[in-house]
Structure 1
Amino acid sequence: MAAASSLAFTARRGDPEFIAPAEPTPRGLRRLSDIDDQGSFRFYRSVIYFYESGGRGGPTSTRGVVDPARVIRDALAAALVHYYPIAGRIRELPDRKLVVDCTSEGVSFVEADADVALEEFGDALCPPIPCAGELLSLPESNSAVVTNRPLLYVQVTRLKCGGFVFGTQICHNLVDAAGITQFLQAVGELAQGMAAPSIRPLWARELLDARGQPRPAFHHPEYEPASDEANDKLRPGDELVHRKFLFGPGDIAALRDQLPPRLRPRCSRFLLLSAFTWRCRTAALGYAPGDEVRFMFVVNGRGRSPLPEGFYGNALTFGVARTTAGELCSGPLSRAVELIASARARAMADGYAQSAADALVLRGRPRFTTARTYLVTDLTKSPLHEVDLGWGRPLYGGPATTTLATFHMPARCGGIAVPMCLPPRAMERFAAGVRAGLAAASPRAPQAAVLSKM
């Protein structure tokens, strides 16, 4: 892998402009669902794409190649005709209820140039993307004011090799990962000449609203404060370092062999790696044996809720596994797997999303709990990585950065990449724990994990 961590450059940005829908669109207020407008979604989620040169169609730039900025600008305007709420502004009503005011004011668009080539980013892109701040319009943050401002920020950065970077940041209250993927796929289809998106977008946010008399049917620890939150091992302002941990098929098979035979056939790669990294991370942070620790993960409600094709709002809930640090770290890997599997079964039960909406309204639309919590999103099967804007599949498509929350991401040769963000000494202990755990699982290949510092 190239030494991408030493990369430094400055993007030359043009002035931001607003891209409005290419045709007149409906006006008025559209309610966000009670899943959409929870406090933890009040931020802008980044998704960034790297494309090689060789696009099809569109005008020619001064470089003698198709100008991706012009193609994407026009495709955005066309897509916003169908996804017109994205061109509006969020307003806040009493009781912190959010609605979209469909004003057609447009999304923020910036075109830029950078004297850097794709190959200088390295051959294994993974968050945090080097110099991501130069490729995105907004500073990255896990919280933000989302009212009365554009809901989507786009930057197209042309590179000296002829490739380009498509950086997007969209308000999480409006869409989840599946929703932004659907929208970006529509942009790609229109960029390539289709008259309309292949999937017709539907609002339908009322399907994930709380009932008139909210009555949660499930327990929702994701919105309950952790005990003694002030005594967490991670605090705002801590120095943090990043590493990517690559688990190949051999690593995954070796870990699976540590499970009892009854668990092996039904333990997914997500369950297995989540259990393993949760134990390593908890030990690395040095929690006291009696401290409660949590594993929280995203559950996609599509396919389990009565949501129509084309729905692009937040259809996700959270599963939470809880135990003490002592039980987690001293017990077998199978115990952690079973805890997460039980939490997943609860979060996938019929009516769970409705219960979550009820709980959110009753509790005043709170943020979910982060103290002593390891939050993971599984992106290994997401089409987020496949958005084609006319330049073929991207070299990389996914989050630009990671924080204390992380992702499982597809890697080459069937592996899974897990970016990790921890204080320096905890990261050293975590890496050592991963090495030791894999060595114990596969004594013949103690260096099976590829640990690459980002």
Structure 2
Amino acid sequence: MAAPSSTLVFKVHRREPELVRPAKPTPYEVKLLSDIDDQQGLRFHIPVVQFYKHAPSIRGKDDPVAVIRRALSETLVPYYPFAGRLREGPNRKLMVECTAEGVLFVEADADVRLTEFGDQLQPPFACMKELLFDVTRLKCGSFIFALRLSHCMSDAPGLVQFMSAIGEIARGSHAPSIPPVWERYFLSTRSPPRVTHTHREYGQQATIDENNTLTTMPHNFDSMAQISFFFGCSQLSALRRHAPPHLRQSYSRFEILASCLWKCRTVSLRPDPKETMRMICLVSMRGKFSDPPLPIGYYGNTFAFAVAEAPAGELCRNPLGYALDLVRKAKGEVTEEYMKSVADLMALTGRPDFLKTRWTYLVSDVTRAGFETVDFGWGSPVYGGPAEPDVGPVPGLANFCIPCKNKEGEDGIVLAISLPTQAMERFVKELESMLKSPPNETKTFTHVMSAL
């Protein structure tokens, strides 16, 4: 696979930014976010990018900019909180002032063809900063749709619900097939609040009687390298063989990948064997609430940060099954009551950030969010999903599992790992060793390296 060229040079003509407002009058009101939405760890923007090949739209040769602008305006009528402004109240409580001011929209034209981005589209993308406009027409007739959204407003499935609604209206529907539901009180603190679980993800060991002093250790990595890895059927099968034989088929793809990456990353960083290593997995509770059930159409955040912990020495010396058991146990702790406990903890402790240390690693699975199915009238994207491989502002701390096809058209998962340069070399060797199955046969993987 060829890497997207870091020397790709082209010109971008950008129009003046405009505010796209709801097509009809919407209510003026103030809506509270949930106590899951407004935690510190979600106070950043999610960049998403969709690449669409040149093709006639369902109505002929429509301009994607005009079609998407109109559809966005109409979609903002039922989704009018997106056209408002976030405000912070007492105790750092976030709310949306529904002002109908609109969302920032930029159109652009780029003097570049889609094929020039390489024969396989996956992050990290060349010149992404230059292309993160709302709609960019390309020289070949293809186009790029991109957006940035405050994570406090939606998780990945909620964002896809909004994008899909734009797509439905762009294709001729008069309203979204799934009406949006705000009702953030479903995941707000109880009265009185009560923390019923230990929340290691926020540095709380047993109680909240620590004045919200969360110990963090800043990343002090120096020179960083980034490699994108593609895991197809053969690679996942090779990794699965490292699981206990009687449990191999019971583990999900995510559990296999997260455990493998956690182990390989620990080996590559060479921490003190007694150092506590943490793996944080995002566990979605969509469709799992019963008291009361979460309504269809809810587009707020519905996940928790599940934490697995282990001494570095144990993680390195034990087979993969050791990490798998810890990851599965951590995910299993996230229940409906656990989510309510998180909401209460947020309200009681000032909405802290999740624990960020040198030895923490977070993996977010967006393979089922549906970015790759969003259709504005020109078919499905050739790539749809996160525009950047890392989650949040700290390089190397977190990664997305992103659905992707390789150049042969095989479905798989791509991850872009960021590590110090020397550690990256050890990481690749460790991963290659795990992909040998049987021992004398190497299951190779596709990877693309670029300097950060």
Say yes or no: TM over 0.5: yes
Deviation at 1:5, TM superposition (A): 3.1
The Cα offsets for residues 233-282 of structure 1, whole Å up to 9 and x where unpaired, read as: x337x432221111221222222222222221211111111111111111
Call closer, same or farther: CA 1:433–1:225 in 2, change over 3 Å: farther
CA distance in 2, matches of 1:419, 1:96: 33
1:417 and 2:418 correspond: no
1:327 and 2:327 correspond: no
Across the two proteins, how many residue pairs are aligned to each other?
427
1:221 and 2:221 correspond: no
- Paired letter, 2:361: Y
Call closer, same or farther: CA 1:274–1:185 in 2, change over 3 Å: same
Call closer, same or farther: CA 1:3–1:336 in 2, change over 3 Å: closer
The Cα offsets for residues 145-188 of structure 1, whole Å up to 9 and x where unpaired, read as: xxxxxxxxxx2111000000001101111111011100000000
Q: Which runs of 5+ in 2 are unaligned?
A: 206-213, 391-395
Matches within 5 A, 1:24-103: 24-56=25-57, 65-103=61-99
Higher deviation after alignment, 250-259 or 325-334: 250-259
Q: Secondary structure at the match of 1:360?
A: helix
Matches within 5 A, 1:35-434: 35-56=36-57, 65-137=61-133, 155-224=134-203, 229-230=216-217, 234-235=219-220, 238-305=222-289, 306-347=293-334, 349-371=335-357, 372-403=359-390, 404=396, 405-412=398-405, 413-434=410-431
8 Å contact kept, 2:124–2:228: no
8 Å contact kept, 1:225–1:369: no
The Cα offsets for residues 317-341 of structure 1, whole Å up to 9 and x where unpaired, read as: 1111001111101111100000000
8 Å contact kept, 2:226–2:419: yes
- Paired letter, 2:229: F
Call closer, same or farther: CA 1:363–1:228 in 2, change over 3 Å: closer
The Cα offsets for residues 312-364 of structure 1, whole Å up to 9 and x where unpaired, read as: 011111111001111101111100000000001001x2311111101111221
CA distance in 2, matches of 1:244, 1:203: 36
8 Å contact kept, 1:296–1:373: yes
The Cα offsets for residues 32-84 of structure 1, whole Å up to 9 and x where unpaired, read as: 000010011111101100001224267x9xxxx42111111101000000100
1:150 maps to: none
Deviation at 1:444, TM superposition (A): 4.1
8 Å contact kept, 1:2–1:120: no
Call closer, same or farther: CA 1:178–1:228 in 2, change over 3 Å: closer
Deviation at 1:422, TM superposition (A): 1.4
2:209 maps to: none
1:149 maps to: none
- Paired letter, 1:449: F
- Paired letter, 1:406: N
CA distance in 2, matches of 1:218, 1:276: 27
CA distance in 2, matches of 1:447, 1:256: 13
8 Å contact kept, 1:51–1:394: yes
1:5 maps to: 5
8 Å contact kept, 1:386–1:394: yes
Q: Which runs of 5+ in 1 are unaligned?
A: 138-154
- Paired letter, 1:14: R
Q: Secondary structure at the match of 2:417?
A: strand
CA distance in 1, matches of 2:443, 2:243: 21
Deviation at 1:16, TM superposition (A): 0.6
Deviation at 1:391, TM superposition (A): 0.5
CA distance in 1, matches of 2:3, 2:351: 43
Call closer, same or farther: CA 1:55–1:299 in 2, change over 3 Å: farther
Deviation at 1:229, TM superposition (A): 4.1
CA distance in 1, matches of 2:421, 2:9: 22
1:20 maps to: 21
CA distance in 1, matches of 2:231, 2:300: 32
8 Å contact kept, 1:54–1:66: no
CA distance in 2, matches of 1:318, 1:290: 24
Deviation at 1:436, TM superposition (A): 1.7
CA distance in 2, matches of 1:171, 1:55: 33
Higher deviation after alignment, 4-13 or 375-384: 4-13
Report the TM-score, using the length of structure 1 for normalisation.
Answer: 0.90
1:435 and 2:401 correspond: no
8 Å contact kept, 1:10–1:134: no
The Cα offsets for residues 197-225 of structure 1, whole Å up to 9 and x where unpaired, read as: 00000101000001122111211111117
Q: Secondary structure at the match of 1:357?
A: helix
- Paired letter, 1:297: C
- Paired letter, 1:126: Q
After superposition, the CA RMSD in angstroms is: 1.8
Deviation at 1:447, TM superposition (A): 4.4
Higher deviation after alignment, 398-407 or 24-33: 398-407
Deviation at 1:122, TM superposition (A): 1.5
Higher deviation after alignment, 351-360 or 14-23: 351-360
Call closer, same or farther: CA 1:414–1:444 in 2, change over 3 Å: farther
Report the TM-score, using the length of structure 2 for normalisation.
Answer: 0.91
CA distance in 2, matches of 1:228, 1:57: 55
